[in-house]
Chains A and B, each alone.
Chain A
Amino acid sequence: MSRAKGLPGLWGAYRLRWKRRRFLFRVWRKRKQIKAVHDRTSKLSSDAIFVFSTVRNEMLRLPYFLKHYRALGVDHFLIVDNGSDDGTAEFLAAQADVSLWTTKHSYRLARFGVDWLGWLQAKHGHNRWCLTVDADELLIYPDYQSRDLKALTAWLDQQNLTSFGALLLDLYPKGPLGDANYLSGGDPTKTLCWYDADNYRHKYHPYYGNLWIQGGVRDRMFFAAEPDRAPTLNKTPLVRWNRRFAYVSSTHQILPRHLHDVFDFEGESKTSGVLLYTKFLPNIGAKSSEELERKQHFENSIHYTDYYRQMIENPTLWYDGSSSYSSDQKLVEQGLMSKGSWV
């Protein structure tokens, strides 16, 4: 498959291999930045499904986050807490199915947590299905209510697939962002029940072999004048992990590049999911102020200053053509995700 999509030549492949090794070395070098608080990973069966996540002050989202993934059949959560001060660490330490690590090091210098998680994945995730998501990302896929992740991964195994792609879908409320109501533990899709259905643009990334997707509400609201800076929306969050694998930037890109074979060039459609993005809960203003201070997000924080400023100004993202989020079925019909051959 990789060949059909144009390998970047033998030399390119060789460079990519070294690039991956550099990432793995980086992961190894930073392994001591995280300290285990509760390591409950022993005694887990070989077919257990793991969630990996880095969090910071996510008390608002975590209760539902855990609930969502438990319902999907996740067996264990491996979480790195990056210096929370709102009780996140204590909350997580009290959960029986969470193993917790903690660090005060720079999130940005750890490639936005990828280095820390990379070490945990190499240590605990080898040859298991690993789902790498942020606290504001809820994975869904066609028929996820009747088919849990065990069913999905069993099917992926049967099809000899090692990765599963998902589109990051920005959800937003009707009215100004800060005015919405949300109580921790509730279903965020009840508050953030709107999204842009069809303004996503796709482009093939010839080097990494992934599909580069941009668009959505942030693109239309904040990045119209600078489309190439608009947030990347393609993700490969679910992977049957191997200790030789390495995420490149967040979960947008991964090496080796065959893991990007989650789309098809021939006109077929493969099975794919959606990551419901719950960033725009009412605390977005406060979070953005904090980000402006900490400058821990994105490679060139300077370019996103404007974006954070606008976030603090309590904008309205909704317009009268927004789609309302109702079901996975609707997302399939609109072509945001696909059942593929998983009938």
Chain B
Amino acid sequence: MTLGVIMLIHTGFDRAEQMARHWNDAGCPVDIHIDSNVSRASHDHFVSALSDLSMVRFCARQRCEWGTWGLVAASQAAATMMLEEFADVSHVFLASGSCLPLRPVQELQAYLQEHPDTDFIESATTSDVLWTVGGLDRERFTLRFPLAWKKHRKLFDWFVTLQQMVGYKRKIPEGLVPHMGSQWWCLTRQTLDAILQDPNRPVYDRFFRHVWIPDESYYQSVVRLHARTVQSRSLTLAKFDYQGKPHIFFDDHLELLQRSDCFVARKIWRDAEVLYKMFPQPVDADRLGAAPNTGTVDRLFSHAVERRTLGRPGLYMQSRFPSADRENGVAAAPYAVLQGFDDVFPDFKSWLTERTGAQVHGHLFAKDRVHFADESRIYRGGLSDHPRLRDYNAKMFLTNLIWNGREDQHCFQFGPADSQEVQWTLAKDTNASIWVISGAWSIPLYRSGRSASEVRAEAARLQRIESKFLKTLRGPHAHARIKIMTLAEFIETPMDVLQTIIDDIAGHKGRALTQTPKMADLTGLADFLQELRNQGMHPFLTGDITQGNLRKAQAKPRRKPYIIAQK
């Protein structure tokens, strides 16, 4: 048996010549169609360059506009010529100038010999498969497309809309079921002959002349009328991007192509020297009967499409800048915001670090400077501790911090004394869990030793700020996980809350707590708050702090641990 190759060429003549020689050297007759748009000079040059090959033929030239009938007419002419001139050809393979055989032609021939009566052509019905790009699937067959899309885009769209508006519908020839698939096929002589000699061929040709992209549907549809066995897949590896444009293979795809075991791949970049040197691979006895395996290639490309359409969440960069309402998460990874905890427990930061192993930052948004977990001046990725740089774009500061250390868990302290620009970002971010002990700002004021009358104004300011933050957190646009409790509520059952936080941050690594960290001395807090009230400043965010609940909170911890899982 012999394999005949049809090559459709419109550009890249050097590589096309190389490929024609390659097919020819392997003993395959080659029938070449050159687009009639190609200049006389290039055509003549190319033809004379191949004149030393006895099994190369050139068929009558057609005008091949992308998406039009010309491409089908060209392959018909070439196929007719092939069958007439080379009587021993048993399979015909349709290729282009930028198709590169990955495996030696002998392996392809051996494979075809094993499947003597099989036609390899991707062919799926339009009703079952939704892979078309651009919204035209069934309508490809029921409307008329006399215009080339590439040249007359506006007119093309206008004509489609017009037909849709008046409800125009073409009749599909009887017996024909529209199928679509890759335009690169390999058909048996018998099938191809039957297609070309079909008495109904003029009817089909007339119909497909005005179908949209007929080269993806002509053979795919009529083959179903004649073939004995159709293997609905293409032997040519070709990938398309989300716009339906062909992916091009470069030198860095070498390994991928090697592993694919495909016979032929397209499109190959014309300067991909490494690929043209490495392929086709030498004959390999182990691989001889192996069927093409496009799994890895498919995965890589679908991954690429995903990356293209989803990007990398939490990454803000020059070519990805989602606007705030386009995305649920703002940052790249979950993180915790803790307000008031370090007021209640002076050693909270080190305690939490020890318990969770997370990156526990101090007050990232403090007014004096950024307090990173390691108190360094420059944190990972070159983040400066300068407060003006941070406040200049607080959201970016936060997203950079998290993106940088996305393999770690981050949590940071927050409070009404800090810069508040980041409030909305925190509240909106589904990746944030925000824990607030409201009114905890009263503790440092109390412990400063100053009298209530001295700190009154400061207390009022902090309360105002915190109250505004709480309003944000309780608003309809807050999507973070939020838990707000008053200071009074918290000191009643600190262990439960801390356990939940630890579980949340450390995940399964969190251990059961037996002891809370050491609480600040709050003995006189109730009197201090009362004094504030007497001064006319009501600290309503603290909840009801009394001598009673303070005494209970400051009592020695109970010996027996109790664990409550709130998750």
Contact = CB atoms under 8 A, between A and B. Distances in A.
A335 B315 contact: yes
B310 A338 contact: no
B382 A224 contact: no
A341 B250 contact: no
Interface stretch (A96-104, A267-275, A282-290): A267-275
B308 A269 contact: yes
Interface stretch (A10-18, A200-208, A307-315): A200-208
Nearest to A213: B318
A150 to B, nearest CB: 7
A118 B104 CA distance: 52
Contact of B382 (A204, A216, A264): A216
Nearest to B321: A263
B320 A264 contact: yes
B380 interface: yes
B384 A220 contact: yes
Given A225-B386, A269-B317, A146 B252 contact: yes
A151 interface: yes
Contact of B393 (A198, A201, A322): A201
B557 interface: no
Given A147-B250, A264-B320, A339 B307 contact: yes
Interface in A122-169: 143, 146-148, 150-151, 154-155, 158-159, 165-167
A341 B305 contact: yes
A319 B385 CA distance: 13
A202 B396 contact: yes
A333 B425 CA distance: 25
A263 B326 CA distance: 14
B316 A202 contact: yes
Contacts of A203: 393, 396
B374 to A, nearest CB: 10
Interface string A184-222: 000000000000111111111000000101001101100
Contacts of A9: none
Contacts of B323: 204, 265
A188 B312 CA distance: 31
A270 B384 contact: no
A219 to B, nearest CB: 7
Contacts of B403: 198, 335
Interface in B368-395: 376, 378-384, 386, 388-389, 392-393
A343 interface: yes
Contact of A197 (B301, B305, B321, B404): B404
A262 interface: yes
Contacts of A199: 381-384, 400
Contacts of A340: 307-308, 319
Contacts, number: 175
A225 B323 CA distance: 28
A59 B456 CA distance: 67
A244 B326 CA distance: 34
Contacts of A234: 318
Given A151-B248, A339-B307, A202 B392 contact: no
B291 interface: no
Contact of A267 (B327, B382, B383, B397): B327
Nearest to B269: A151
A267 B400 contact: no
Contacts of B313: 267
A268 B318 contact: no
Nearest to B320: A269
Interface stretch (B221-229, B237-245, B427-435, B544-552): B237-245
Contact of B269 (A147, A263, A319): A147
A155 B404 CA distance: 31
B13 to A, nearest CB: 15
Contacts of B274: 146
Contact of A159 (B243, B301, B320): B243
Nearest to A336: B317
Interface in A257-304: 262-272
B309 A268 contact: yes
Given A146-B250, A216-B382, A341-B308, A202 B321 contact: yes
Contact of B318 (A147, A167, A197, A267): A167
Interface in B289-325: 300-301, 304-305, 307-313, 315-323
B205 interface: no
Contacts of A341: 241-242, 304-305, 307-308
Contacts of A148: 271
B209 interface: no
A268 B312 CA distance: 8
Nearest to A143: B252
B56 to A, nearest CB: 28
Interface in B313-364: 313, 315-323, 326-327
Nearest to B252: A146
Contacts of A150: 271
A219 B378 CA distance: 12
Given A150-B271, A199-B383, A338 B320 contact: yes
Contacts of A211: 318, 321
Contacts of B210: none
Contacts of A220: 378, 382-384, 386, 389
A196 B318 contact: no
B247 interface: yes
Given A227-B388, A268-B308, A338 B381 contact: no
A265 B319 contact: no
Nearest to A264: B320
Interface string B499-532: 0000000000000000000000000000000000
B412 to A, nearest CB: 17
Contacts of A262: 318-319
A267 B250 contact: no
Contacts of B380: 197-198, 321
B308 A321 contact: no
Given A147-B269, A319-B378, A339-B307, A265 B400 contact: no
Given A198-B380, A268-B320, 4 more contacts: A146-B250, A199-B384, A204-B323, A341-B242
30 contacts: A146-B251, A147-B269, A150-B271, A151-B250, A151-B269, A167-B318, A198-B380, A198-B404, A199-B382, A199-B384, A200-B396, A201-B392, A201-B400, A202-B316, A202-B321, A204-B323, A219-B389, A220-B382, A227-B392, A228-B392, A263-B317, A264-B311, A268-B309, A269-B315, A269-B317, A321-B382, A335-B315, A336-B318, A338-B317, A338-B320
